[in-house]
Structure 1
């Protein structure tokens, strides 16, 4: 998720993020017949900025601070909403803020279109979504805070430095490249012969360890900070939010502070039905305004680490700790190679893994006190047991890749 720069955007971070319900109903037709949807009447500049297995991502080209995810997988999208909200609460915990000066970020959920309002919403607004499937069907939709794009200077440098699956001319002329997020593949040494590193645009541009060392996005200092943020964030997801993190995505995007100024997801979202209308966060706005570019532009010249896409993740109970730890191991070893390589044996790569492991265990010790209170002192050993099993599983997978180890299921 990303955004383009606009010199004429509003200087109020809240402008366009949510319209007053009475004001919205006075300006809409079908949507005004139900209290379940609040929208700006003419969001003509919506644009696709990403696609995934669970949905398509849109934002306004007028430098919106909100993104919109639409798709047909009702259960997957609702799972994304509730677990993103859960992880956001965990990362926003005042105690976590006190422990970590800089930490992993997660988009805040801003609202959704309730089931009973969906037909009316798409009757009014399908024409504003660029892809035709939105006009022919009534997919589910929710809003979340936007991850800003990498700055334009860095985007241009990436376009000229790296090879793409299309021609250089096509890449440079492609307006999709106004949006850029970077996937930090710390588990990959180099781009050479790596399918994950093939790309035809900058939406989720892959970066390997070699790329970080030869093309510093911010500084060598930030690379170390990013590794620590990824480790501490994963520990908070596991041991404070109690989410397994299956198939989650990490991206580097621009810095922004609006996510911290209006985040209010209710506590009972975990027990509420999918796309219900009984919660106060069920209204969304098709936003077309955002903070003034002059006041925020400097923040886009630095990068920040985000985590997103919780549609395939699941809550974890530690009532059966061995089963829970096994699930965590499965999640980290089945994911894309974001994490440093546990099989590293020497040099910078070994140090990278050791730094990651150390930061993870330090954080897990701090944030797992509720588990210690519930399960006793034995719970203090669980994070280290997880890391040991992760290293063992990674070794087995490497042996299997080299033809030396084959593991058959039951």
Structure 2
């Protein structure tokens, strides 16, 4: 696709494997199906709606933030494309397009703190004035550190962007944030996805962003470093239906490890990380049993399977390192 923006009044705020995302205004986002041919905004719409419906029925169990899902536009919707098509660059053709609530970016104070904490000095002025870096959503990686306890503190990255900024567990700690409340919301979200919505959660994202204005039905956080914020879950185009049985457990376990490392991971080598995992595990099982019934074995079966796979992966890594030594 050409990047001719001569007539564009919508602003591109992101691109991924499924498509490009555009800002219609400060409240709505437009996700076009114009990239990978095997990714589907139709499936994104269907799975998104299923999660929202399940959340309504499970609101007593969790207060997670999920964007509202407004409308799926087909490529032959003449009325919509006649009105809105000219707002895209001239070379962009009609395609399936998902209209949803725009997740509000972190505010200027939060962005300033992230720049000071993690951006290389020589790039700070550029990032502060770069319009793209105002679209600041922070991917929260509670399952990965940038370094181990035995290595030196990592140097700041030479390439830096606040758009989809990856915040690893060690950076969470450097910002003075308590990882546990976020881990609990992730556990609740995963339980609702699996057992209430019946979806595997494959390739969903968890981001820190500003809260929805005027909404007291979701959990918010406040901190000296990044101010008032919320944890949002988004991107459901790779999710698939799953059954509440052993086959579903295997499917959910596979999705857990295919995702970016948002969820805590079992890590006996780091006592603090393993404690976080155990709390995530406990909270997932508790929320799951509230949904399935206290006698259900599926929640613990899934957590035990994840621990076994994590152990297998560590053994493979150790063996690979030994072979290269």
Classify the TM-score, shorter chain.
Answer: 0.7 to 0.9
* Cα distance between partner residues in 1 of 2:122 and 2:241: 40
Number of aligned pairs?
299
Aligned residue among 229, 233, 254 for 2:210 = 254
- Name whichever of 138-147 and 80-89 sits farther off: 138-147
Aligned residue among 288, 300, 303 for 1:387 = 303
**What is residue 116 of structure 1 aligned with on the other side?**
76
The CA deviation at 1:107 is 1.2
* Cα distance between partner residues in 2 of 1:199 and 1:363: 39
Q: Counterpart of 2:212 in 1: which secondary structure?
A: coil
1:67 aligns with 2:23: no
**What is residue 104 of structure 2 aligned with on the other side?**
148
User: Within 5 Å, which residues of 2 pair with 1:169-248?
Assistant: 169-190=125-146, 200-216=160-176, 219-220=177-178, 223-248=179-204
Gaps of 5+ in 1: 1-42, 262-299, 406-410
* Cα distance between partner residues in 2 of 1:363 and 1:153: 35
**What is residue 398 of structure 1 aligned with on the other side?**
314
Q: Counterpart of 1:402 in 2: which secondary structure?
A: helix
* Cα distance between partner residues in 2 of 1:70 and 1:84: 15
Q: Counterpart of 1:403 in 2: which secondary structure?
A: helix
* Cα distance between partner residues in 2 of 1:325 and 1:200: 37
Aligned residue among 86, 96, 109 for 1:127 = 86
Q: Counterpart of 1:177 in 2: which secondary structure?
A: helix
* Cα distance between partner residues in 1 of 2:199 and 2:134: 33
Q: Counterpart of 2:161 in 1: which secondary structure?
A: coil
1:82 aligns with 2:46: yes
1:325 aligns with 2:255: no
**What is residue 271 of structure 2 aligned with on the other side?**
347
After TM superposition, the score normalised by the length of structure 1 is 0.66
**Kept in 2: contact 1:165–1:198 (CA 8 A):** no
**Kept in 2: contact 1:317–1:324 (CA 8 A):** yes
Q: Counterpart of 1:99 in 2: which secondary structure?
A: coil
Q: Tell which structure's C-alpha radius of gyration is larger.
A: 1
The CA deviation at 1:126 is 3.1
**Kept in 1: contact 2:75–2:94 (CA 8 A):** no
Cα–Cα, structure 1 residues 52 and 155, in superposed 2: closer, same or farther, change >3 Å?
same
Cα–Cα, structure 1 residues 212 and 324, in superposed 2: closer, same or farther, change >3 Å?
same
Cα–Cα, structure 1 residues 381 and 142, in superposed 2: closer, same or farther, change >3 Å?
same
* Cα distance between partner residues in 2 of 1:348 and 1:248: 25
Q: Counterpart of 1:326 in 2: which secondary structure?
A: helix
- Name whichever of 249-258 and 78-87 sits farther off: 249-258
Cα–Cα, structure 1 residues 77 and 317, in superposed 2: closer, same or farther, change >3 Å?
same
**What is residue 311 of structure 1 aligned with on the other side?**
237
**Kept in 1: contact 2:139–2:166 (CA 8 A):** yes
After TM superposition, the score normalised by the length of structure 2 is 0.83
Gaps of 5+ in 2: 1-6, 218-225
Cα–Cα, structure 1 residues 404 and 167, in superposed 2: closer, same or farther, change >3 Å?
closer
Instruction: List structure 1 segments (4+ residues) > 4 angstroms apart after TM superposition.
Output: 191-194, 257-261
Cα–Cα, structure 1 residues 394 and 165, in superposed 2: closer, same or farther, change >3 Å?
farther
Q: Counterpart of 2:110 in 1: which secondary structure?
A: helix
Q: Counterpart of 1:98 in 2: which secondary structure?
A: coil
